[in-house]
Structure 1
Amino acid sequence: MSYHQLHRRDFLYQSLLTGACALGAGRLAAEERKLPVLGQGKFRYRPVASWGVLDERTPVKNCSAMVVDARGRIYLLTDHCANNVIVYDRDGKLLQKWGTRFPGAHGLEIVKEDDREVLFITDLNLHRVFKTTLDGEILMELTYPKSTGKYANEKEYRPAWTLNLPNGDFFVLDGYGKDYILRYNRAGKLLDYFGGPEGGIAHWGPHGGVIDTRGPGEPELVIAMSDQQTIKRLTLEGKLIEEISLPGSNPRMIQIVGEHMFVPHLADNWPKDRESKGYISVLDRDYKIVSNIGGTAPRYVNGKLQPMSQQGGFFRHPHDLVVAADGAIYVPQFASGNTYPVKLVPEV
């Protein structure tokens, strides 16, 4: 394939991200049909043109996280303080927006709590974790864990994400600060902490992840170790179970869908190459990659995964994802030119 072909493909992909106003609706639809399907095997997807693109009244900056509520509404978290939370319907139409106080909005989780759903938001700049209603009322605000003795001041604490247990306990991943993993109860009382440099957690490590309750044993913490290009499996007490190497990756978050895990990678050579781009991996129950959406096909030699890379130019920097009940994938992107999220639908 020639450079000209690759350059044109990148232009078409980025036109899809930004709405492609210059192409016009008819031409855009025609060009979209020409784009190759992303992924391999049973996990192949096609982009949806202009999904979620809004006007200047609803701006975004870095789009860092997305969740779906029980009614199917899709919540986007951005660090633009005109509207930190943007709520879409499945067609990408604006339903609601709120939030003007989260300049470092980064991680977002949705949790069923008694008869309602609540949101957990982490803010890198405010050095805090917030629990809110779906409409933005703040229910709890957690500052830095001074009692641990690990932090000289709040500026050393930059929480990336929360992972939440069914009983209301939750873990905070201090992935931009000192790399500790802290466990709190539902009321916000610190129960335990582990990790950090003395606990074998390297810096720029615990960014996001999931609590795996698929069994048959006890629940596990599965942590996306970003710049370390690994996934760590830990007990809820922080004991290492296994470390999975993912060369050519930068895992930022994890979602479990049935027997598979979906993992967005910020880029394939980050932070060495800030211009490198990302993709999404799908892992099976044994942590073997079965598809790279927007990336090279996974290849194993003598059971060892070979370095992966972005392919095709569709994604910039995937930072999170949410797989909806109908199989569609919604992907917010960080440091990607103030672009809105993208939507992919399964190829049938």
Structure 2
Amino acid sequence: MSRRTFLKQSSCASLGILLSPLYNNAFSFSKQKDVIIGHHTHQYKVDMNWGNLDPLKTPVKDCHEMVQDSKGRIVLLTNHTKNNIIIYDKSGKLLETWGTAFPGGHGLTLCKENGEDFLLITDYDRHQIIKTTIDGKVVFEIDYPKETGHYSKKEDFKPTETTVLENGDFYVADGYGNQYITHYNHKGELLNIFGGRGTGNSQFLNAHGICYDNRDKTNPALLISAREMNILKRFSLDGTYLSSIPVPGALICRPVVHGDHIYFAVLKSKKAPNADSGFLLIMDHKNQVVSCPGATAPSYNNRNLEELYQTIRLFRHPHDVCIDDDENLYVAQWNSGQTYPIKLIRV
């Protein structure tokens, strides 16, 4: 397939998505020059052309996660082993690619040590966490935590996400495996384990994402998404359960803290579980939902968030959101027909 044919087909597919609302009150894109989505203080202009590359030279499979490095570059992780890591500038220009050894590349976290950038990659197919330099040199690999007694074989360990503290300690969420959260020091030595599969307060069904929340400097916490439960759970750094934040109707992926807000990609809308659905969700400093780009405006009844659902077919299984230093969003998508990320420009 030529690049021209691919882009033409992709554009038609995108237009088909945009012009096929799920609900009668869905917003129509057909006559809009600049499409604006979102609510209240967090609204965005859609850029569907950002980061589109030649799929014959730089293909993607599932675009799982994205981060911004210290140089301001946008780093994308895909599980296509021709180029697992794709690095863009903020305009969407390709800068470099590397990586051919991460068939289950899923979680991507930036960590900084002595002014140098490193990446933590979770690979559910390799059943490992891999730390690399920003240009792809492997620093260490961590296998399944056999010593905890919670895993009898490596296949039980399918890590989906990591998060890093200021001192270099990091946590791993086993979202596709036995649902435990493991805590390591900066050397990769195991310190603690908590969680596990279940419906209790301290347990998970699909502990898909984890994030270090230091917005309250005196009481830092871990935010962990129990995706199949439509709940964001808060834990202390020693693994003690603190509280839950229900997000009815939203299968939330990893939480991303930026400034005073938390951002999520929502993989699917509960109202349309079998469709190419999904939207974004943004919480404020009080953990109240303030904007849902691609979905209904958030509304509370007696302090309870009303169920959210997709209103426009813009996203196809959004899996992660990256916020740059200009407050723009970049949306990576899973199972989206091998499409490149979407950029949302803050307005």
Same fold at TM > 0.5: yes
Structure 1 counterpart of 2:342: 342
Asked if structure 2 preserves the Cα contact closer than 8 Å seen for 1:319 and 1:333, the reply is yes
Structure 1 counterpart of 2:43: 44
Matched position secondary structure for 1:309: coil
What do residues 141-197 of structure 1 show as CA deviations (whole Å, max 9, x unaligned)?
Answer: 000001001111000000000111111110010011000000001111101101103
* In 1: Cα distance, 2:40 partner to 2:79 partner: 36
Q: CA deviation at 1:93?
A: 0.9
5 Å matches for 1:116-195?
Answer: 116-195=116-195
Q: CA deviation at 1:31?
A: 6.6
Q: CA deviation at 1:15?
A: 4.1
Q: Classify 1:94/1:300 alpha carbon distance in 2 versus 1 (closer, same or farther; 3 Å).
A: same
Matched position secondary structure for 1:14: helix
Question: What count of residue pairs does the alignment treat as equivalent?
Answer: 326
Structure 2 counterpart of 1:230: 231
Matched position secondary structure for 2:234: strand
Asked if structure 2 preserves the Cα contact closer than 8 Å seen for 1:179 and 1:201, the reply is no
Structure 1 counterpart of 2:261: 260
Q: CA deviation at 1:204?
A: 3.5
What do residues 108-155 of structure 1 show as CA deviations (whole Å, max 9, x unaligned)?
Answer: 000111131100000010000000011111001000001001111000
Asked if structure 2 preserves the Cα contact closer than 8 Å seen for 1:17 and 1:342, the reply is no
After superposing the two structures, state which structure 1 stretch, 197-206 or 45-54, moved more: 197-206
Structure 2 counterpart of 1:241: 242
Q: Classify 1:305/1:93 alpha carbon distance in 2 versus 1 (closer, same or farther; 3 Å).
A: same
Structure 1 counterpart of 2:94: 94
What is the one-letter code of the residue matched to 2:323? Answer: V
* In 1: Cα distance, 2:140 partner to 2:87 partner: 21
Asked if structure 2 preserves the Cα contact closer than 8 Å seen for 1:64 and 1:334, the reply is yes
Matched position secondary structure for 1:132: strand
Q: CA deviation at 1:16?
A: 10
TM-score of the superposition, structure 2-length normalised? 0.89
Structure 1 counterpart of 2:5: none
* In 1: Cα distance, 2:183 partner to 2:16 partner: 41
Matched position secondary structure for 1:193: strand
What do residues 285-329 of structure 1 show as CA deviations (whole Å, max 9, x unaligned)?
Answer: 111111101111011111111110112111111111111001110
Matched position secondary structure for 1:343: strand
Asked if structure 1 preserves the Cα contact closer than 8 Å seen for 2:172 and 2:210, the reply is no
* In 2: Cα distance, 1:264 partner to 1:296 partner: 15
What do residues 244-272 of structure 1 show as CA deviations (whole Å, max 9, x unaligned)?
Answer: 110010110112222111111101129x8
Structure 2 counterpart of 1:73: 73
Asked if structure 1 preserves the Cα contact closer than 8 Å seen for 2:179 and 2:196, the reply is yes
Asked if structure 1 preserves the Cα contact closer than 8 Å seen for 2:201 and 2:241, the reply is no
* In 2: Cα distance, 1:200 partner to 1:38 partner: 34
What is the one-letter code of the residue matched to 2:225? Answer: A
* In 2: Cα distance, 1:64 partner to 1:31 partner: 29
Q: Classify 1:71/1:209 alpha carbon distance in 2 versus 1 (closer, same or farther; 3 Å).
A: same
5 Å matches for 1:176-325?
Answer: 176-197=176-197, 200-269=201-270, 273-325=273-325
Q: CA deviation at 1:17?
A: 9.4
Structure 2 counterpart of 1:25: none
* In 2: Cα distance, 1:133 partner to 1:147 partner: 27
Matched position secondary structure for 2:268: coil
* In 2: Cα distance, 1:224 partner to 1:12 partner: 34
What do residues 19-55 of structure 1 show as CA deviations (whole Å, max 9, x unaligned)?
Answer: xxxxxxxxxxx97853541101111101113110000
Instruction: Determine if the alignment matches structure 1 residue 104 to structure 2 residue 112.
Output: no
What is the one-letter code of the residue matched to 2:206? Answer: G
Structure 2 counterpart of 1:59: 59
What is the one-letter code of the residue matched to 1:41? Answer: H
Matched position secondary structure for 1:332: strand
* In 2: Cα distance, 1:157 partner to 1:151 partner: 7
* In 2: Cα distance, 1:128 partner to 1:282 partner: 30
Q: CA deviation at 1:205?
A: 2.5
Asked if structure 2 preserves the Cα contact closer than 8 Å seen for 1:17 and 1:339, the reply is no
Q: Classify 1:35/1:12 alpha carbon distance in 2 versus 1 (closer, same or farther; 3 Å).
A: farther
Matched position secondary structure for 1:47: strand
What do residues 320-346 of structure 1 show as CA deviations (whole Å, max 9, x unaligned)?
Answer: 111100111011001111110110101
- RMSD of Structure 2 on Structure 1 (CA): 2.2
Structure 2 residues without counterparts, runs of 5 or longer = 1-10, 19-28
